[in-house]
Amino acid sequence: MRIAMIGTGYVGLVSGACFSEFGVTVTCVDKDVSKIDRLNRGEIPIYEPGLDKLVENNAKAGRLFFTTDLKAAVAEADAVFIAVGTPSRRGDGHADLSYVYAAAKEIAEALDGHTVVVTKSTVPVGTGREVEKIIRETRPNADFDIVSNPEFLREGSAIGDFMRPDRVVIGARTERAREVMRALYRPLYLIETPIVFTSVETSELIKYAANTFLAAKITFINEIADLCEKLGADVHDVAKGIGLDGRIGKKFLHPGPGYGGSCFPKDTLALVRTAQEAGAPLRIIETVVDINDKRKRAMADKVIAACGGSVAGKTLAILGVTFKPNTDDMRDSPSLDIIPALQQAGASLRAFDPEGMHEAEKLLPGVVWCDTAYETMGGADALVIITEWNQFRALDLKRVKTLLKAPILVDLRNIYEPEMMANAGFQYTCVGRVSLPAAE
């Protein structure tokens, strides 16, 4: 089997590398010459654990190629995956499909022999049909089938998610297309992964329904956390107590500063718009979007309250700015709202992130970037954890205390235990758990 992967962004690169690990010959295509040059030199443009080794091994084995030549890659492929970006369009929240449609046109011109054209990018319901129309109009005699095959990869654990998924969703119209997709995912049949075959439209909707459901689940536990603070209850115990009910499930019940990243914010907005236009508004998701937006400002207020009601003239040490750990991705990270709100309230900020600072420097002006976690703390009035990188879970608390002016720690990811922090003499604030007074 041979495939072409159009777009070497996050989804395209991970999916291409993983398919080559399955034994498929994969050609990854991108218009960006310098990116392709870098990939051909073995440099990986994104941070994803394990991806560099996977690319290196499969490139060496002659199963993974990088090129700017879309025509040649498509002509020899049994299946072509569209994995280009679908950013939120400015103004209306709809996904911007111009890259998908441009790719469809180029693919149409290059098709040779029967080919399955698969959309992997997250696209609104109806996009597959539109892709089919574009190809048909460009090449009326082309022999092709369209398929929707959404990805459910989480950044930071994308390779494991691809190799051992909970399920694979495939929307196809013909048996011939289903056969090609079965062949591509053959190794997953061996580990008995459920493969859900549906229509193209249903498959497109499954992706949005999954992501918006998870965003709602996070938002639910975030609101329960706020309620816990008022009632003196513990949100971790609530999450455990409800999550053990198999109908609810344990995952995605961790409270925090609100969801971010490249998927949930964009996909919730896009589905809200689609539903409104279809005359079947998703009021629950409209509310989720609104609550999550406001939550980030509320987190800045939480920090200000922990600092005695004002941060004017104070210095804050910030640990973690990416939207979650194990990624360098800053897209829609809660830090992008929390940090400017603290600056506006008069605070000076010193920050450290293991992988995100290169990107963050451009997005968060006025922050002093430090080389280590401890360097942020020297003379700071308080310490704030925004992202739960593993290395922040085991800080030398004695050292932290001697570095900070006052032992104030605001932990927006609940990576420490209130009791342990009180015993260590910290004035500790977290999310949805009772904070105990610091021991003398």
Would you report the helix, strand and coil content of the chain in percent, each value rounded to 5? 45, 15, 40
389: contact with ligand UDX by CB under 6 A: no
Nearest CA among 390, 258, 262, 392 for reference residue 318: 392
* C-alpha torsion angle, residues 357, 296, 9, 270 (rounded to 10): -170
Considering only 22, 66, 162, 264, the residue that binds ligand UDX (CB under 6 A) is 264
In this structure, what DSSP letter does residue 108 have?
H
Q: In this chain, which stretch among 258-266, 275-283, 370-378, 418-426 interacts with ligand UDX, using CB under 6 A?
A: 258-266
| Helical residues (DSSP H) of 234-350, grouped into ranges | 235-243, 264-277, 283-306, 335-344
For 316, other C-beta atoms within 10 Å of its C-beta total: 27
18, 28, 228, 263: which is the annotated catalytic residue? 263
Is residue 263 part of the annotated active site? The answer reads yes
163 binds ligand UDX (CB under 6 A): no
Q: Give the residue with the Cβ less far from ligand UDX, 63 or 413.
A: 413
Is the Cβ of residue 129 or residue 254 nearer to ligand UDX in the bound state? 254
Q: Is 35 annotated as a binding residue?
A: yes
Residue of the chain from 261, 340, 356, 418 that contacts ligand UDX (CB under 6 A): 261
Contact of 74 with 4, CB cutoff 8 Å: yes
Helix (H) or strand (E) holding 131: helix 127-138
Q: Is residue 302 close enough to count as binding ligand UDX by CB under 6 A?
A: no
Near ligand UDX by CB under 6 A: residue from 147, 253, 288, 300: 253
Q: Is 324 in the site for ligand UDX (CB under 6 A)?
A: yes
Per-residue binder mask for ligand UDX (CB under 6 A), 202-221, x = binder: ---------x--x---x---
User: Can residue 151 be called a binding residue for ligand UDX (CB under 6 A)?
Assistant: yes
Tell me how many residues contact ligand UDX (CB under 6 A).
19
Contact (CB, 8 A) for 82 and 118: yes
Q: What SS3 state is found at 26?
A: strand
- Nearest to ligand UDX of 221, 307 (CB atom): 221
Is residue 337 at the binding interface for ligand UDX, with CB under 6 A as the rule?
Answer: no
On whether the CB atoms of residues 344 and 376 are closer than 8 A, the answer is no
Distance (Å, whole) CA 306 – CA 312: 13
Identify whether the C-beta of residue 410 lies closer than 8 Å to the C-beta of residue 384.
Answer: yes
9 makes contact with ligand UDX (CB under 6 A)? no
Instruction: Out of 256, 354, 407, 432, name the contact with ligand UDX by CB under 6 A.
Output: 256
Residue 162 touches ligand UDX, criterion: CB under 6 A: no
List residues binding ligand UDX (CB under 6 A): 151-155, 211, 214, 218, 252-254, 256, 259-261, 263-264, 323-324
Residues designated as active site: 263
